[in-house]
Chains A and B, each alone.
Chain A
Amino acid sequence: MADIRLEGITKRWGDVVAVDELDLTIEDGSFTCLLGPSGCGKTTTLRMVAGLEEPTAGRIHCGQKLVHCSERGISVGPHQRGVGLIFQSYALWPHMTVAQNIAFGLEMQKMKQPQITERVREAASWMQIEEYLHRYPSELSGGQQQRVALARSLAPRPDCLLMDEPLSNLDAKLRLDMRTELKRIHAMTKMTILYVTHDQLEAISMATTVAVMKDGKLQQLEDPLKLYKHPNNMFVANFVGSPPINAISGQIYAEQGVWRVRAGDMVLTLQKNPEDDVKIKDGQTVTVAVRSEDILLDDPSAPSMAMTVYSSLPTGSDTFVRLTRGDVGIMAKIYESDNLPVDSKASVSFRPERILLFDGDTGNRISLGSSLVGFNEASAS
């Protein structure tokens, strides 16, 4: 068992920088998700950890072992790193049966035949594919192939399991099944898992740690639930969560312990969060960001503002309501099924301590969560 440390890892192809000075520690026994949009460098990072791609600069440690060091030209082969890898396409060898696929890595470790048989059976039983051991991959469904790929990676008992978007070829239902399965495997084996995905839901629901990447740079390394609640910047706030976070742009003014944000024809008065310790400039552009589920409709206990229902989309369990006021538009998620008529009026308030503030220029977070304490219409001046 081992942690994986990446220090100053950079990967360049010509002028294209895929990964840019990445410092990242994957804790021993963690389930770390590399999350980001396509082209953010997450798969490249994973392949560099596996040893399939060589970093242009930087160092990688697997536990005590230095497996890559650009300065010294050291690069240890993949099989000496103690990693298993699950490919997006599974990459099962089509000319071998399931059992032969699983046994291959064990043979390469010069294991004795009885032991191989034992290990193959064991891995197959973990993944509940014992009955398919003598079939060829083409005779299996996508979900079964995925299980075989997992068994093949688990059989040699690697210290660390790397997975590259393993569920993206499955349909929605199987994906849900496999997520529960993967989370159990992690709990059972206590193995370090590095998991690449662009699906924020996958990351939040399975990982113990999520690393959000963008343009080859690490944006935030965080516990998944904290990540959702306290994104470091506007990119993370937007990328994590569905529907995307509501963003209202405005100018901020500090005034006697409160912030006033002027956005369109509204002035929002926000109570600072006691943990916030940020200096702001009067008149600075900020983004007020609120998750859909933190928007409340017709709640008399909180200060509210009047908005118009643009349209409402009930799903059965809850309802998405699109609300507008002037140029400002937000999407609320309310936990009841209701079909609000188009163009009806609604009074909108925000759940306390859930209003995030981001710097309008840099996108960095200003507030961990403020509360709306007042609402005014902007004076004509």
Chain B
Amino acid sequence: MPAEKGGIQQMKNQIEQPNPGRVPLFLERTWNRSRRVITNPPMLLSILLLGVFVYLVIVPLISLVHSSITLHSRDTLRVLGGRVGELTSFYLQRVFASNISEVLFYRPLLNTILISFSMSALAISLGCVLAWIVVRTDIPFKKLFSSAAVVPFILPSWTISLAWMTIFKNRTVGGSAGILEYFGVQLPDWISYGPVPIVICMALHYYPFTYLLVGSALRDFDTRLEEAALVLGANRSVILRRVVLAVVAPAILSSFILTISRGIGSFSTPVFLGNPINYRVLSTRMFASLQTGSPGDAYVIAMVMILLAVLLIFLSNKVLGKRRSFVTITGKAPKPQLVKLGKLRIPVAIAVGLFLFSVIVVPLFVLAADTFMRVPGVYSLDNFTLHYWIGESTPGLVDGRPGILRDATTWKALGNSVKLGLSASVLCGFFGILIGYTVVRMRGTRIASILDQLSFVPYLIPSIAFGAIYLSLFAVRRGPIPSLYGSFLLIILATTAKNFPFAAKAGSSAMMQLGHEVEEAGIIAGAGWFTRMRRLILPLQRSGLLGAVMLPFISAMRELSMVVILTTPGTELLTTLTFRYSDYGFYHMSNAVVLLLVVIIVVMQYIMQKITGSDLSEGLGG
């Protein structure tokens, strides 16, 4: 070796010569290196995507904070000597420390917390029990039950609320009464409106989170752990408590976080069931502030909602981070031995069947039935009508509007919804793939982790607050960006940005699965970046791409709380149309539109599952 070493040294000296005094070595090096960095596609993409994120996520957030501490034109008279755009603590003061703070903030905050916690508790209990029965017992009709159990989550979140009202509505707020009142049952307000129905309806919508997470934890659960306990002489209840529950705990905890953070931002159920008796939560209070022309207050409340959500995620990461090891020890276990229910097998099956029937079929049936009644609340056959579906415009009936299938408004809203869904999903799919590609290719660099985290930010922000953010940013002209309020583009932008987390997740997991060798083989073959993308990567991402596209589509179709503050009559969507009809008291129309929406969503969901073969749990965020 020593002799060779000398040879190489000589060679080194020779090579260091050919560049004497021409260009300093470090200049040549810097020039060559920076040229390579700049022409490196993943690097270029990261910079581009960083720009997109800053514009669509960070700037709006900053704008929200800014809007909550600068004076709006309407309030110039309320602040002595105030000028528009001046820094002010007026809104903060009014929300947190004034004589209306209680109505404006503290009571809604308390209500929000109360509702979120009780709703989560109920949803988790329901989800756990259902998951355990369906996964671990020998109950019949397993397949049917397990796919039916997630349906309430697929339906728009306010479907159950509307059905609740149709059944339990009393005469407190005028208009027609619900089915029960019609049959002579006197209902107190607390059953018809307010926290109790809100908690129930929300729990019935959100329990699938727990069902899916706990269900899959139970499915992966190594039953040998149970058998070990059995051999050691533990009885069934001890095993359930000390072994099963302990192992499933992380799944329960994460579903708790998921559920409660949704609870904090939830808008549609409280608005339908709380507003009639002035029962407000943060989201509905914020919406009211926007409508009554106090955007400053609304922005302050939106900030509080975001902080609450961030706090929850932070806490969950702390708790879950420590306990995650529990989940990972599950190996490929032998087929789990099912718990024999014995004599209880049929009664339990009937109970589960009844439950699912009453949260899926009954609400939809009630809503449907309602749309076929000429005079609301009269349950007789001669009251049957198809008017609300296909009727001609009749004066005196719902302001002389034609049936929804004849009404241009419906078709326009449907068109808008589809347009929104398509544009948002195409944009999301596009960005999802780019984000996934960039993050995976640049893995280990700072810019990749920044991108990864930024793409997650919209997840932290409750939808309605996200809407408020976009409103605050684009309501007025800012620099070169014109005011976008009232434009369809704004709704598309907001929906796209809100769906970034899922698109990015779908994109990067697809890229991870693909691995880097497929692309590297292309690099070696001499294919340029565009050729590699077009001929090697994109064709292999088809199903991943479809996931990144379909999810935002469905979620855009049923999104209400975010778009409700961004739409104007010209940009009406199906979801906001149901909201508006119900606001006017046109429950028939509202119900009919919801049914239309349900049909579309269920069909889309079915197609997506057929094509991608994907599990619903991916749609947890949707």
Asked if A72 contacts B523 (CB within 8 A), the reply is: no
* A184 part of interface (Cβ distance < 8 Å): no
- Expressed in whole angstroms, the Cα–Cα distance for A301 and B500 within the complex equals 81
* A97 part of interface (Cβ distance < 8 Å): no
A78-B524, A84-B524, A85-B520 known; A73+B29 contact, CB < 8 A: yes
Asked if B518 contacts A7 (CB within 8 A), the reply is: no
* A23 part of interface (Cβ distance < 8 Å): yes
Q: Which of B25, B28, B525, B539 contacts A156 (CB 8 A)?
A: B525
Contact with B along A109-129 (1 / 0, CB 8 A): 100000000000000000000
A-B pairs, top 6 by smallest CB distance, nearest first, are A73-B32, A79-B526, A73-B29, A105-B525, A91-B517, A108-B526
A59-B15, A71-B25, A89-B517 known; A104+B523 contact, CB < 8 A: no
Q: Which residues of B contact A109 (CB under 8 A)?
A: 526
* A52 part of interface (Cβ distance < 8 Å): yes
Whole-angstrom distance from the CB of A48 to the nearest CB of chain B?
13
Whole-angstrom distance from the CB of A119 to the nearest CB of chain B?
13
State which of B4-12, B150-158, B194-202 sits at the interface with chain A: B4-12
Q: Which residues of A contact B19 (CB under 8 A)?
A: 72
A94-B540, A105-B525 known; A7+B32 contact, CB < 8 A: no
* A83 part of interface (Cβ distance < 8 Å): yes
> Interface size of A by Cβ–Cβ distance < 8 Å?
39
**Considering the complex, which residues of chain A in the window 174-198 have a beta carbon less than 8 Å from any beta carbon of chain B?**
none
* B484 part of interface (Cβ distance < 8 Å): no
Q: Which residues of A contact B15 (CB under 8 A)?
A: 59, 66, 69
Closest to A6 in B: B8
Asked if B31 contacts A52 (CB within 8 A), the reply is: no
- Expressed in whole angstroms, the Cα–Cα distance for A69 and B522 within the complex equals 24
* Residues in chain B within 8 A of chain A (CB atoms): 1, 4-5, 8, 11-12, 15-16, 19, 25, 28-33, 36, 444, 515, 517-518, 520-527, 531, 535-536, 539-540
Q: Which of B1, B5, B28, B540 contacts A95 (CB 8 A)?
A: B540
Asked if B8 contacts A23 (CB within 8 A), the reply is: yes
Q: Which residues of A contact B5 (CB under 8 A)?
A: 23
Q: Which residues of A contact B36 (CB under 8 A)?
A: 73, 75
Whole-angstrom distance from the CB of A8 to the nearest CB of chain B?
7
Asked if B29 contacts A104 (CB within 8 A), the reply is: no
- Expressed in whole angstroms, the Cα–Cα distance for A84 and B31 within the complex equals 29
Asked if B515 contacts A105 (CB within 8 A), the reply is: no
Asked if B29 contacts A91 (CB within 8 A), the reply is: no
* A74 part of interface (Cβ distance < 8 Å): yes
Residue picked from B16, B521, B525, B539, most chain A C-beta under 10 Å: B525
A87-B517, A89-B517 known; A105+B25 contact, CB < 8 A: no
* A310 part of interface (Cβ distance < 8 Å): no
Whole-angstrom distance from the CB of A361 to the nearest CB of chain B?
20
Closest to B527 in A: A108
Q: Which residues of A contact B517 (CB under 8 A)?
A: 87-89, 91
* A26 part of interface (Cβ distance < 8 Å): no
Q: Given A72-B29, A79-B525, A105-B524, 10 other A-B contacts at CB below 8 A?
A: A59-B15, A79-B523, A79-B526, A83-B524, A92-B521, A93-B518, A93-B536, A95-B539, A105-B526, A108-B531
Whole-angstrom distance from the CB of A345 to the nearest CB of chain B?
44
- Expressed in whole angstroms, the Cα–Cα distance for A72 and B24 within the complex equals 9
Q: Which residues of B contact A73 (CB under 8 A)?
A: 28-33, 36
A-B contact pairs, 18 of them (CB 8 A): A50-B524, A52-B520, A52-B524, A75-B32, A77-B523, A78-B523, A78-B524, A79-B527, A87-B517, A87-B521, A92-B521, A93-B518, A95-B539, A104-B522, A108-B527, A109-B526, A152-B525, A153-B524
- Expressed in whole angstroms, the Cα–Cα distance for A7 and B11 within the complex equals 9
Q: Which residues of A contact B539 (CB under 8 A)?
A: 95
- Expressed in whole angstroms, the Cα–Cα distance for A153 and B524 within the complex equals 9
- Expressed in whole angstroms, the Cα–Cα distance for A326 and B518 within the complex equals 56
Residue picked from A13, A72, A77, A79, most chain B C-beta under 10 Å: A72
Whole-angstrom distance from the CB of B96 to the nearest CB of chain A?
46
Q: Which of A5, A69, A91 contacts B521 (CB 8 A)?
A: A91
Whole-angstrom distance from the CB of A47 to the nearest CB of chain B?
9
Whole-angstrom distance from the CB of B380 to the nearest CB of chain A?
62
A73-B32, A108-B526 known; A91+B8 contact, CB < 8 A: no
Asked if B524 contacts A74 (CB within 8 A), the reply is: no
A89-B517, A93-B521 known; A74+B32 contact, CB < 8 A: yes
Q: Which residues of A contact B25 (CB under 8 A)?
A: 71-72
- Expressed in whole angstroms, the Cα–Cα distance for A75 and B526 within the complex equals 15
- Expressed in whole angstroms, the Cα–Cα distance for A243 and B521 within the complex equals 37
A8-B12, A87-B517, A89-B517 known; A72+B524 contact, CB < 8 A: no
Q: Which residues of A contact B33 (CB under 8 A)?
A: 73
- Expressed in whole angstroms, the Cα–Cα distance for A153 and B189 within the complex equals 77
Asked if A7 contacts B525 (CB within 8 A), the reply is: no
Closest to A66 in B: B15
- Expressed in whole angstroms, the Cα–Cα distance for A75 and B540 within the complex equals 30
Q: Which residues of B contact A92 (CB under 8 A)?
A: 521
Q: Which residues of A contact B31 (CB under 8 A)?
A: 73
- Expressed in whole angstroms, the Cα–Cα distance for A221 and B540 within the complex equals 42
Q: Which residues of B contact A85 (CB under 8 A)?
A: 520-521, 524
Q: Which residues of B contact A74 (CB under 8 A)?
A: 32
- Expressed in whole angstroms, the Cα–Cα distance for A77 and B526 within the complex equals 9
Asked if B520 contacts A108 (CB within 8 A), the reply is: no
Asked if B540 contacts A87 (CB within 8 A), the reply is: no
Q: Which residues of A contact B518 (CB under 8 A)?
A: 91, 93
A74-B32, A89-B515 known; A108+B525 contact, CB < 8 A: yes
- Expressed in whole angstroms, the Cα–Cα distance for A91 and B539 within the complex equals 15
A73-B33, A74-B32 known; A91+B520 contact, CB < 8 A: yes
A73-B28, A75-B36, A93-B518 known; A7+B523 contact, CB < 8 A: no
Q: Which residues of A contact B525 (CB under 8 A)?
A: 79, 104-105, 108, 152, 156
Whole-angstrom distance from the CB of B43 to the nearest CB of chain A?
13
Closest to B31 in A: A73
Q: Which of A5, A66, A71, A88 contacts B29 (CB 8 A)?
A: A71
- Expressed in whole angstroms, the Cα–Cα distance for A168 and B282 within the complex equals 60
A7-B11, A71-B25, A108-B531 known; A52+B523 contact, CB < 8 A: yes
Q: Which residues of B contact A93 (CB under 8 A)?
A: 518, 521-522, 536, 540
Closest to B535 in A: A104
- Expressed in whole angstroms, the Cα–Cα distance for A152 and B522 within the complex equals 11
- Expressed in whole angstroms, the Cα–Cα distance for A94 and B537 within the complex equals 11
Closest to A75 in B: B36
- Expressed in whole angstroms, the Cα–Cα distance for A71 and B15 within the complex equals 11
- Expressed in whole angstroms, the Cα–Cα distance for A88 and B515 within the complex equals 12
Whole-angstrom distance from the CB of B444 to the nearest CB of chain A?
8
